[in-house]
Chain A
């Protein structure tokens, strides 16, 4: 199975879930399949799981899904220990493991050798760990995690290769503003501070 097939299979199950995407083709694929203000496209390799954790802790009543990659998670294995200890019941940490640095021309990652990220997650204390090797296993596992109220780690073993989609037309600042305005509106929060202009203050007579 390929990552794009996985994304296509689960996109009908999405409503107002918040999604954090890893650097690389996954953000373009996801933005093409689900153009939504609740997608946050992180421009950093490694911190996808951590940013998703912060978001999940801040909004415990909202489901948060991280689309991570093997190369990214290998940069930040310690985050699995932190996430398992915090155990946010609203977070799904999904890793598309293609066993290579696909966006960097495909050199193998450690998972092409001996490393098993699901075993690492289990060892760090994740109670719900799923390894999916077929599209059916993946879809069933993901839908279960989406419906359940608990922390999940899902390892999707995929072939390398990106979906045939256009590049997402969002830059990071635009994405941040759209995402934050969406959170402000949907959660009735004030995140971005604004300063009153002195000119708008009534003048003393």
Chain B
């Protein structure tokens, strides 16, 4: 991910009201995670496992914060039970920014399997998501996904494809 893309995401999150982010890094998310850690307007919590971040975000919401979770799609798949029981069941929103590995152009066979499962699992969980690949789509998509998360009291997701992550 280019630095200017990371900066655009962080700025868009703040404009959408997000003030609390849990994250688990990956090579493609590195610049974003580092930028989140440096921003004084966002409480950044690096986690050891993605489902932990879902729990932390839910608690932050109950305490009045506007949380988001940054992770790769492998971490999203790991978080499905947490999302079902902690967020969807009681009705707690969390905006998820999901780096999408395993899409077209992927050279790693193992990532390809995770990539193929990501959208079907989002759909199976009835999580509304948008795919973002172009720079100019980042800001309006973050804004609108956050509006829906808050109004519907459900998790929403933005799937950042390779083009967005480069």
Contact = CB atoms under 8 A, between A and B. Distances in A.
Interface of A: 20, 40, 42-44, 46-59, 62, 76, 78-79, 81-82, 85-86, 172-173, 175-176, 179-180, 183-184, 187, 189, 191-193, 195
B62 interface: yes
B33 interface: no
A82 B64 contact: no
Interface residues of B, number: 34
Contacts of B153: 192
B163 interface: no
A-B pairs with lowest CB-CB distance, top 5 = A54-B59, A58-B63, A50-B55, A78-B48, A47-B55
A18 to B, nearest CB: 8
Contact of A180 (B20, B51, B54, B62): B62
Interface string B36-55: 00000001011111011111
Contacts of A173: 89-91
B64 A81 contact: no
B52 A191 contact: no
A183 B63 contact: yes
Given A44-B82, A86-B45, A191 B61 contact: yes
A58 B85 contact: no
A58 B62 contact: yes
B64 A47 contact: no
B114 interface: no
